[in-house]
Structure 1
Amino acid sequence: MTNLDDQTILRRKVAHAAANAAQGGPGADRSWRVVLARAARDAMGLGLDVVRLSQSRASLSELLDLPPGGALIAVLEGPADGLGLMAISAPLLAAMTEIQTIGRVSALAPVARKPTRTDASMVAGFIDTALTGLEVALAEEADLLWAGSFRYASFLDDPRPLGLLLEDIAYRVLSAEVSVEGGARLGQILMALPSEGRGTRPRKAANVMADALAGPAFTAGLAVLVEGTNCVLQAVLHRMSQPLSAVMALQVGDVLPLGMASVDRVGFEGLDGQRIAEGRLGQNRGMRAVRLVPHVAPAVAPVLESHDIKDLQRVAVG
């Protein structure tokens, strides 16, 4: 084989690699498996495994028929006002709410019902964690152009409005069949995003390596990325626990006593439920607001030494 033949083969390999990169390659397909499992674990402590995953393209009319019946449909917002969707099937949605309310996935089949706004708020953290993880995983992949920078925006309990809400364009569809808690429940997660990417182009591996070698520059860049991440805080007036039977029996008009709740003691909690600050409920420019106040540690009863106890006993006897 001559040098000319070697150069021709090399050019073909380079051209083939460039073509694969332009089309996006298998980046999103491969990363979505890992990202879903990690997001379920980190956001809600749920064990999730992807049993089967497929990637395809669909028109808007085809996409409207893909979400499973009774699924919660989350509307995703991305770059350049692009909209997509994520559909979580009813059995999987029930497992996600059960793990956050009773701490486990019930062995009983879930009761068929329409998704609610409460359901959406309980899975919004999982959705954003998964989308953020996918964006990070695709930092050097061509698929970042269409799969990056999407976040949860709102939800629908019926797929019919999607025909008016979404653009009449082609979509890339990632459909994952999943198993939770070792097979306790099976379900489906379907995500569809605009096929023509509008996001950020991926960084080349050479640039990433140069930044890594730069030391302080890499540290500063990482700090900017971390500080730009959305942090969800919840203002909590009071938390209470009740038996599941009592919760299921609640009706309109029932009164739930809040016990020690006070507008002067509103807690700020992260997605993990840990209290990080306290505030006082009030108003600012006609809107509800919370003013942060110093944390007041609960009073702790002093520990009495043995001789103190004996003195108290003498006083009581005397």
Structure 2
Amino acid sequence: MHQSRTVSVLRALRLSMSKVGNDLFELPLAVLGATQEIVDNEGCAAVFKEDHLMVLLDGPGGARGAAMVDAAFVGGLIQQQTMGSVQPFKADGPARIMTTTDASLIEPFINILLERAAPLPETEDERRLMTGFKFGAKAQDIRLLMLALEDKEYQILRLTLDLAQGTRQGELLFCLPVPKPPPKIDPPDSEDDEDAADEGSKTLCENVLSLKANLIVSLTQLQLPIRAAGALQVGQVLELGRVSFSDAQIRTLEGRILGHGVLGQREGMRALRVKPRAKQRDVPSRRSSDAGILKAEGAQDSQFDDFYSVQDLAALPGPAMNAAPMPAADMDFASAPMPDLSDLPGFEDDAEDLISQYTTG
């Protein structure tokens, strides 16, 4: 039975190595051996060697890692790029000092290798290990390199490489910080989700109409001279004149009248039933001078009922609310029983219209 092999970090690097070598340098590259271990910050210093090329790696969120390659690998890449072939490595010669030019030559190799290998591992923690790291700068020595590595633990990935089908071997090492576990996010309360969904689904009109509006209900107004207002005393009785529970005024805090209503009580609480606003005429008034033109076009006599002259408009009747006289106030309003509004139909019919008028006025 065939058993699928899981892709680890080392296997991801092994699979990507040959493709990167062929695509960048037309150089056959293969991984002969690979090891992986976790060391603490102090232990990292022991894995680096002064005669190798050491570079800093910049990672996501300010994280820092490192990479190291030996002289055999660096020399093989230089030979492939300059001469088109790799020569066998001579280990008996003097050690060559690594330069910034050497670091620039391996920069594209390291960047593309990490970029291609990072998404291949199957576990999220192993994918996060290499994701986002790229070439930073050449490290001058181990002491300066260790000053840049500040994490507590590091993954050491050590690869033994074959160049040009056995022509020479080299070593590549990655020192990457162990990824910290992602922060736990508590699931939001289901009630909060429903409230947030309701708030998000409301339209602008619904949000405006849900705002609070402070209104004043008054039965009448009393005008006094400043001298008389200044002379008011505790217990003094003022004559209010004609007032009526059925014609209470609804005002804004600034005193503007929004409408009228019936003041009473409902379920033991004071209440106000808003009166419907008077509708405008469905047919607009027309000038008397237009009657001749329409009659010539075949209009009937009954269609001239809504024609008024300028003089007639002044005599048109006003709203019935203003025409009806208010009953005299012959009762003590402090103890007078208020009408029960519980059974009146359409108690809330015009509330939305009233608030809309208040918010847009």
With the length of structure 1 as denominator, give the TM-score of the two structures.
Answer: 0.51
Change (3 A) 1:56 1:45: same
What secondary structure does 1:152 align onto? strand
Match of 1:177 in 2: 160
Are 2:42 and 1:34 aligned?
no
Change (3 A) 1:157 1:181: farther
CA contact (8 A) 2:151 2:177 kept: no
* Greater share of residues in helix: 1
Counterparts of 1:113-152 in structure 2, within 5 Å, are: 113-138=96-121, 141-152=124-135
Match of 2:41 in 1: 60
Moved more, 51-60 or 101-110: 101-110
Change (3 A) 1:198 1:192: farther
CA contact (8 A) 2:54 2:66 kept: yes
> AA paired with 1:193?
L
Query: For the residues of structure 2 that align with 1:194 and 1:59, how far apart are their CA atoms?
Result: 10
Q: Over the residues paired in the alignment, what is the CA RMSD in angstroms?
A: 2.3
Query: For the residues of structure 2 that align with 1:185 and 1:160, how far apart are their CA atoms?
Result: 30
CA contact (8 A) 2:39 2:154 kept: yes
Are 2:35 and 1:45 aligned?
no
Shift of 1:182: 1.3
What secondary structure does 1:137 align onto? coil
Counterparts of 1:144-223 in structure 2, within 5 Å, are: 144-197=127-180
Shift of 1:49: 1.0
Query: For the residues of structure 2 that align with 1:145 and 1:154, how far apart are their CA atoms?
Result: 22
Query: For the residues of structure 1 that align with 2:77 and 2:167, how far apart are their CA atoms?
Result: 12
Shift of 1:139: 7.4
Query: For the residues of structure 1 that align with 2:78 and 2:34, how far apart are their CA atoms?
Result: 23
What secondary structure does 1:161 align onto? helix
CA contact (8 A) 2:29 2:163 kept: yes
Shift of 1:157: 4.3
Shift of 1:146: 2.2
CA contact (8 A) 1:43 1:129 kept: no
Shift of 1:195: 0.8
Query: For the residues of structure 1 that align with 2:172 and 2:117, how far apart are their CA atoms?
Result: 14
Shift of 1:33: 0.9
CA contact (8 A) 1:145 1:197 kept: no
What secondary structure does 2:46 align onto? coil
Shift of 1:187: 1.3
Shift of 1:101: 1.0
Shift of 1:138: 3.6
Render the CA deviation track for 1:203-232: whole Å, top value 9, x for unaligned.
xxxxxxxxxxxxxxxxxxxxxxxxxxxxxx
> AA paired with 1:144?
R
Render the CA deviation track for 1:68-116: whole Å, top value 9, x for unaligned.
4421112111111000011011111111111111111123526521111
Q: Identical aligned pairs, as a percentage?
A: 25
Are 2:96 and 1:94 aligned?
no
> AA paired with 1:180?
L
Q: How many residue pairs end up in the alignment?
A: 176
CA contact (8 A) 1:57 1:171 kept: yes
Query: For the residues of structure 2 that align with 1:69 and 1:184, how far apart are their CA atoms?
Result: 25
CA contact (8 A) 1:89 1:187 kept: yes
> AA paired with 1:54?
T
Change (3 A) 1:41 1:68: farther
- Runs (5+) with no aligned partner, structure 1: 1-24, 201-318
Query: For the residues of structure 1 that align with 2:177 and 2:52, how far apart are their CA atoms?
Result: 21
Name which structure has the greater RCO, CA cutoff 8 Å, separation 6+.
1
Change (3 A) 1:98 1:145: same
What secondary structure does 1:160 align onto? helix
Query: For the residues of structure 1 that align with 2:15 and 2:21, how far apart are their CA atoms?
Result: 10
CA contact (8 A) 1:114 1:157 kept: no
- Runs (5+) with no aligned partner, structure 2: 1-5, 184-361
